Every structure is written in C-alpha cells, then in structure tokens.
Amino acid sequence: MVFDIDLIKYIYQHYPQKIDLIRQRIGKPLTLTEKILYAHLTPGEELKNYKRGEDYVNFAPDRVAMQDATAQMALLQLMNSGRNRVAVPSTVHCDHLIQAYKNAHDDLIIAESNNQEVYQFLRDVSNKYGIGFWKPDAGIIHQVVLENYAFPGGMMIGTDSHTPNAGGLSMIAIGVGGADAVDVMAGMPWELKMPKIIGVKLIGKLSGWVSPKDVILKLAGILTVKGATNSIIEYFGEGAQSLSATGKATICNMGAEVGATTSIFAYSKKSADYLAITGRQEVVDLANKLVDCFNPDSAVLDQPEKYYDQVIEINLSELEPYVNGPFTPDLAYPISQLATAVKEHNYPDNMEVGLIGSCTNSSYEDMMRAASVINNANQLGLTVKAKLIINPGSEQVKYTSKRDGILNHFEQAGAAIMANACGPCIGQWRRDEVADEHKNSIVTSFNRNFAKRNDGSPNTYAFVCSPEIVVALSIAGKLSFNPLTDNLINDKGQKVKLQEPSGDELPKRGFEVDDAGYVAPIADGSLVEVHIATNSERLQQLAPFSPWDGKDIISQPLLIKATGKCTTDHISMAGKWLKFRGHLDNISNNMLIGAINAFNHKSNSVLDTQTGDYIEVPALARKLKAQGIGSIVIAEENYGEGSSREHAAMEPRFLNVKAIVVKSFARIHETNLKKQGMLALTFVDKSDYDKIREDDLISITGLTDFMPEKHLTLTLHHHDGTTDSFAVAHTYNQSQIDWFKAGSALNKMKEQFNENHK
C-alpha cells in the first residue's frame, strides 16, 4: 500500500508551473530548499523574495508525524482546539515508551502493561480524529516515516527534533512542538522564520571504514551545536549523489545537533531505488518526471557562494571516521586523534557498552555493515569484549535482517536484540550496572550524548560514531582502539586486523515483513469517546492558560540563574519522567532539575529567599505560585538545545514562571515558549547576565507597549537597595504577541475558530 498517493499526485500535478512562477517572482535561480518552501506557502501568502533569517512566513505542510511521548501533549491540545478531524494526514508512532532491559520480547510485554492507559488514549484519539496509529514495536518514528511517508518535494512537521531524517528523500521535514502540530492538524497556517541556507558541497566518495555518519560528525565539529540555528543545510555535489538514501537520512537526522531547522538532499537515482524497494514505485514514476523540481537550479550549482548564505566543502575521499563526545555531540575527534584525546582528557578507556540503533542509524545498510565487522571478528577468532545492544529501526528492518542472517551474527556475538524503539538513545534504558555511578565509557550510533541522557549516570562518558565503529570498539573493548591501524590479539594469541566493513545498501531480495504494525483509523470517529481518569497519574486534561493580565512584570524573584549548557534534558528530563508526558502537573516536578545553579554550582538546589534555605527548583516555583507570585529564569547560550519536547516550555508556564531571559535560544524551544504564552527574551548585552544576583527581584517593563522589534527593559532590584537596568530583546512578531496576550497560541486559535463558527 502506498500511503497518501492521492495527496502526492495532487501536490505533483502543478509542481513545475509553481516552480516557474516562484523563479519568476523571486527573480533568481533557486536552491532546492527555496523550491520546496515557496511551493508550500499557505494559500493567500504573498509570493515574494522573503528575507532569510528575518521574515516570518506562513506555510502549509503536507503532513504531521508524532511520537508517543510528545503526541500525548499534542493530542491533549488538539482536543481543546474545537476541531473534530485532522486537516492533513497525521500519524502517531509508539516508539519512546519501551524501556530497554532484557530483550525485545520481555521488554515489550512490560511496556504494553505499564503503558496500557497511554497507548489506549493515543489509539482512541487517533480513531476520533482520523490519525494513523503505529503500534509499539512497529519501529522508530523517523525510520517508519522514511519507509512509508517521506516523498520528494513534500513538506512535513513532526513533534520530534529528528524529523529532518526525511530530508534523505528530498523532503523538507522540520521538528516542532506539539502546539505547532496542532495548528497544522487543525488546518491553520504554520509560521516559520524564513531560514538561511547553508550549502554543503560533498566531493569524492566514501570508502573503507568511513560512513555517511562521519559526514555529519565532522560537520558538527565545524558548525558546533548552534552554528546552523535558523538555517537549512542543503547538501549538493557529486559526493552527495553517491550516498544511499538511508545514509543521506542519517546525515539529515543529525543536523538537529548543529541547530539546523532541517537538512535536505536532492532527488537522485538512490532516492528512486529506495522508494521502489519500499513499495513506492508509483511515487518514483511521478517523481522521475519532476527531477528538475527536486534539485537546485544548475546556476546555483555553478556558483554556490552566490546563492547559499554559507558554503562548506567536505571531501568524502579524504574523510576518516569520527568519534564525537563526551557530553556534547559537536566535540569531534577523527579516530586517528581519539587515543591521544582519551589520554589527555583522562576519558575512561575501558569501553563497557556499544549500542547500535536509534532513528539516526538503524537502517538495513547500517545493520549489515555492522554485522560484517562482527562476522569478520568471529572468523579471526576474536570475541566482543564490551556488551552489545541492538535496536533495529523498524519491524521491516528487523524482519528482513533476521531473514538474511544479519541478526544471527549479532546474537552469536552475545548481543541483546531490543525492541524496534528508541530505548537507550532517549534514556529508556534500565542499566543496573551503573547504580554505583562509576566512571565508564559507552559508544553509540545515536545522535546525542548529553550528560546522564542515556542511563541517568553523570559518570557515563557517551561517545557518538557510526555503527561500524561502535562494533569495532566493542570488539576491542577500548575507546582508544583504531581499527584502521591497530591489531588485536585473537584466541590463539595471534595479531589480527579487522577487515573494512561491507554490506548492501538495500536487501538483494527486497524488504519483507509479516506485520508492519500499522492500524488505520476508523472511517467515522465522531462517536469515539476519549476517557481520562480523574485520578490518573499518566494523563491529565489540559486547562487553558490564563491570558496576560495587561500589566508589566514587577519585582518577581529569581527562580534560577543557570550556568553552562541548559538543554531540554536539563529543563525537562526524559528517562523515568517519560511516563508523565501526558500529565502536566506531575511532569512539572522535573522542571529545571538538571540545570546548574550559577551561585552554588549544584543541580536542583536554589535559594528560597523567604527562609534562606536551598530547596528543589520545582518546590520553590510551586511555593511562589501558591502565594500568587511568579518567578524569572536566567540562562546562557543556546538555551533549550536538544529534543523538541514542549514540556520544557509548558512546565515553566504551568508553574507561573513569568519570563525566560537568556543569552540565546535554540530555535524549537524559543518557538515552543512563544506558543505557550511565555515571555522569551535575550540580553542585548550578554555581559548583563553577570549582573543578576541570587536574591534579586526582577521587573520587566514595556509590555503595555509590546510590539515587534522594540526592546523591553529589565530592572534588577538588589537586596542592598541598588538597581541595575538594561534593555532585553525579543523576536516576537505581531501574531506571536497576540499569542502572548491571549495566554497561548491555542487560546488564540480557539478564539478565531469560535468567531468563524458563530
């Protein structure tokens, strides 16, 4: 079955004419990114040359995808929208709530029992609103989307930061918060600041131990975690043509780690091959007639510096494997330099666990190349010294890999085959051996490696690399091992060297699956009742946030001044907290508990100025809220980096935080804050961050004249009676100011819906 084929035919019907008109109106040759973005302007939006990085533009995405952790809050908001059916094709994927512990069979039984209430809620809401439902163990959202829904020239949004995975099939796919998803599902325009475009030219060809993952690992080292913020990365060049579709998806997936809005590759024969083998020959037949639409104009390729905001060139023939980490995905080490780094920084050289999977690297090609290294080690008389854990990307990948003997190679080496789910990548990993929090290293094929992300231990040093390198380091049991140059000692005492990995991009006998895990919604969901128990600890109906009171913010206490990296993992942890993603009150007990207090350098320990005691962050926020008092959060650069989880924005709103003031925001998180009616501000002079004292009362004035591009004023009332006052900036446009005044974007949308249906 080809999903959405009628929609794809409709979109493709007038694509060439659209592109011709866009080129005429813009008045210059077009990048691929521009073609797809401008082709998806919302009806009525003016077709003109929007300023990149400045102008807000309304778009009409073709579809929405949600994973089960973020879908809960998105669907709770959808239920408050006044709509009774989704306006665009939408899906829910149950991949986040399965904890990896023993094996796929046992873990799935436990997950279905523990999460039964949530799974039933998601299935009921899906039926009621016409949403496709993918069962637990069907696969990781982005791999399933790539196999079934992604199509060249399309545009989708997803409630997960790695939605850009679909860029491997020439689709503009952007990670968003649940409120954005509700806009699109409700048929409303979706707003985005017109992104800048970074062109990455790939020349040469991969060989040996080097994989597509190494392209993005190297790029992360070049751009850093915020170097592509408010930008789309567009890959081009002959090197790009040579990469497999799933390899391109891996690169696009991890573009989130450099802050990119999304990433994209042009349509090519590799794209067509993947679409065909996944049962979408009909899409290939249509797309092949529109190749020019799904590639940059030739003039752009001839003079890329003229049409991209930045151009970076990477020679695939000279690239070597990279290992990035620990604690941040942009600390990039070529493997030839890793051993030196291990010694210099005293990283734990003894590698305890190797993990393969996640939405980034769990394709058939990934599995086969990694298995080839295992098979070679077995032939050489080598055993795997580290524990090995495998999470296949989808039931289709798992079923086909099992048929072709790939999983057997892993199992013979003692690997644990886990469910087709995110598992350890998002902290859904019961790892008993780190209960003592001893210092240790793990190596993963995942995308992120923030402290405590995978197993909850602050002393786990997590490094990110390709599946092939994960296996090689697992065999050696040493982080400092370089399979390109180093020998190992086999069971006969002989020096042996691992062969380069090998494998097919696509299965020679095609993909096969018994039950892919898809459940279509019923034709008429109007009679479906969605039950949420009043005493549930997992689900809670949402009450609308209160509108702005029309006043400035006066003399509110500081909640926390965070120092250093403050990701969404710090603001709203995953792991054990995932079970509360549908219950705003309960999950708010994790608000900012991972953030480091600048005054005592401890986490979850902030000053209660009323008593002089240090208490937990949520406890102080709740105490102040109960007294009718708000609070202010202060932080540093790239605040909200990481996962798209909007809980990190909803929790402060729920606990009466009045404003978040930082040196800079990550894109998705800033939007999430705006959507929830929060005030998101930045220091005009970043050194003003240093002026905030622990016992300050903080005022923010100018809100009664809140307008685009006009600074507000922040005043610090120090305990000694002195004050400091300075300007703070914002990026709100008029629509976003209206969200703030209404109390949230959802409140504003419901107002408009009610007015239109009087």
pLDDT tens for residues 63-118? 999 999 999 999 999 998 888 999 999 999 999 999 999 999 999 999 999 999 99
Buried b (16+ CB within 10 A) or exposed e, 196-218: bbbbbbbeeebeebbbbbbbbbb
Predicted local confidence at residue 40, as pLDDT: 98
pLDDT of residue 92: 98
96 counts as catalytic: yes
| Percent of the chain predicted with pLDDT > 90 | 96
User: Residues 4, 62, 68, 95: which is the catalytic one?
Assistant: 95
Structure tokens at 142: 């982005």
pLDDT for the residue 258: 96
pLDDT of residue 404: 98
Cβ atoms of 733 and 189 within 8 Å: the answer is no
Residue of 63, 96, 453, 583 marked catalytic: 96
pTM of the model: 0.92
Q: Which helix H or strand E contains 36, and what residues bound it?
A: helix 32-39
Mean pLDDT across 281-287:
98
- Residue 433: what pLDDT? 92
Catalytic one of 643, 644, 699, 744:
643
* pLDDT tens digits for range 616-655: 999 999 999 999 999 999 999 999 998 878 999 999 999 9
Q: One of 40, 583, 645, 730 is an active-site residue; which one?
A: 645
Give residue 575's pLDDT: 84
pLDDT band at 757 (very low <50, low <70, confident <90, very high): low
Contacts of 11 (CB under 8 A, 6+ apart): 62, 153, 154
What is the per-residue pLDDT across 191-224, written as a single tens digit (0 to 9) for each? 999 999 999 999 999 999 999 999 999 999 999 9
Q: What pLDDT does 751 receive?
A: 84
Q: What is the mean pLDDT of residues 676-686?
A: 98
The gap between the terminal CA atoms of the chain, to the nearest Å, is 41
Catalytic status, residue 645: yes
Catalytic residue among 448, 653, 669, 730: 448
Pairing of strands 613-615, 631-634: unpaired
Phi, psi values for residue 569, rounded to 5°: -70, -35
339/485 Cα distance (integer angstroms): 12
Name the pLDDT band for 454 (thresholds 50, 70, 90): very high
**pLDDT averaged over the chain?**
96
* pLDDT at residue 525 is higher than 70: yes
DSSP 346: T
Catalytic residue flag (residue 23): no
pLDDT tens digits, residue range 546-580? 999 999 999 999 999 999 999 999 999 988 898 99
pLDDT digits (tens, 9 = 90+) for 303-359: 999 999 999 999 999 999 999 999 999 999 999 999 999 999 999 999 999 999 999
Catalytic residue among 4, 62, 160, 455: 160
